[in-house]
Amino acid sequence: MKLRKSLISVACAVFMAYSHANAALIDAVSVVVDNEPITIYEIYAVSKQFNLQIKEALEILIRQKLELSQIKTMNIQISEYDINRQINEISAKNGLGVQSFYDLLKKEGITPEIYKEELKQKMQQEKLYQYILSNKFQAIDEDELLLYYNKNQKEFTKFDSFDVVRFESKNSDDLTEISLKSQKSTESSSVDAKNDFNIANKSVVVATQNIKTSSSDPKVVAALSQTNTNSLTPVIQTRNGFVRFFVSAKNNQTILPFDQVKNFIISKISSKQENDILKEYFDTLKTRATITIIRLP
């Protein structure tokens, strides 16, 4: 079972964004969940880091505090030996020695102490999740896998290549605003890369392109596969900025056989089942918890 992403490092990630704010306000406790405080700073930090509304950020933090409360109640402990063993495994997977791994962390502004503490809390969280799931997780039979496969053929449809119009910019907002001038634009044999679209910012780089599945970024291929022909993909972040595609054509369609995607389906159904069990558990816990609202941002 994979470790879920922790929110523990959020404060470090966004500290600079709030370093000049009023210290008394930032440190003020906003909500208390079973004796676990949530500060106004934490709410703003999560909101900023994950681009969420304040209410959504607060819900995430309430869930996090419920988890911390359960970890304390169950006295879930992680030994220094287990932490070091995990660090050895992570370093080896990255082709590094432990000291080289620590040196890499330091370049990112993360000390070994901070990393160990975050790793410890992730491991505690994982133990908590294993306990919650142990008695409720149900085995997935072949009929359920086949049902999912037959109802979701689009997920398993593969194309050799895609004819697209590519839009690229340093600013994601430039790409969000792109739209077709007219649906009639798609009825011709080819799409005019520059004249058939409303593009607010003229600095957006536009070009026609044929993208081959075998040699392209899997994230891009997935977006193109899931987008209907004559439609725009969502905005995709890259190392150099942001891209978006208008899908003109999908070439050489094939549907992957069931045996080839069976493990993927097992993983997807298992993941949904786990998330549903955990959500139900913590929703129930929330209704029983003592939650005191002192002030909201």
Query: Which DSSP string do the residues of 146-206 spell out, in sequence order?
Result: HHHHHHTGGGGEEEEEEEEEEEEES-HHHHHT-EES-GGGGTSSS--TTTSEE-S-TTSEE
- Nearest-5° angle of CA 241, CA 10, CA 130? 110
The pLDDT of residue 257 is: 95
The pLDDT of residue 186 is: 55
Q: Between 112-134 and 98-107, two packed helices, what is the crossing angle to 10 degrees?
A: 100
The pLDDT of residue 17 is: 42
The backbone torsions φ and ψ at residue 199, rounded to the nearest 5 degrees and listed phi first, read: -125, 110
Give the separation between CA 13 and CA 45, rounded to whole angstroms: 8
Could you count the other beta carbons within 10 Å of the beta carbon of residue 96? 14
Question: Which 3 state secondary structure label does DSSP give 255?
Answer: strand
Q: In what order do the strands lie in the sheet with 36-39?
A: 36-39, 29-33, 291-293
The CATH number fitting domain 158-180+192-255, selected from 3.30.750.24, 3.40.50.720, 3.55.50.30, 3.10.50.40 = 3.10.50.40
- Residue 263 corresponds to which amino acid? N
The CATH number fitting domain 10-133+283-293, selected from 3.40.50.300, 1.10.4030.10, 3.30.470.20, 1.10.3720.10 = 1.10.4030.10
Cβ burial of 32 (10 Å; 0-12, 13-18, 19+) is middle
The contacts found for 205-209 with CB under 8 angstroms, 24 or more apart, are: 205/166, 205/167, 205/168, 205/169, 206/165, 206/166, 206/167, 206/168, 207/165, 207/166, 208/163, 208/164, 208/165, 208/166, 208/248, 209/163, 209/164, 209/165, 209/166
* pLDDT tens across the length of the chain (297 residues): 443 444 444 434 444 444 444 455 557 899 999 989 999 999 999 998 888 999 999 999 999 999 999 999 999 999 999 999 999 999 999 899 999 999 999 998 999 999 999 999 999 999 999 999 998 888 899 999 999 999 998 889 999 999 999 999 998 888 988 888 766 555 555 666 667 888 888 789 999 999 999 988 989 999 999 899 999 999 998 888 899 999 999 999 999 999 999 999 999 999 999 999 999 999 999 999 999 999 888
The pLDDT of residue 193 is: 67
Contact 61, 42 (CB under 8 A): yes
Could you count the other beta carbons within 10 Å of the beta carbon of residue 213? 18
Q: Which two structure tokens, joined as six digits, stand for 2?
A: 């994979």
State pTM to two decimals: 0.69
End-to-end CA distance of the chain: 36
Domain assignments of the chain as residue spans, ordered by start? 10-133+283-293, 158-180+192-255
Give the separation between CA 240 and CA 102, rounded to whole angstroms: 27
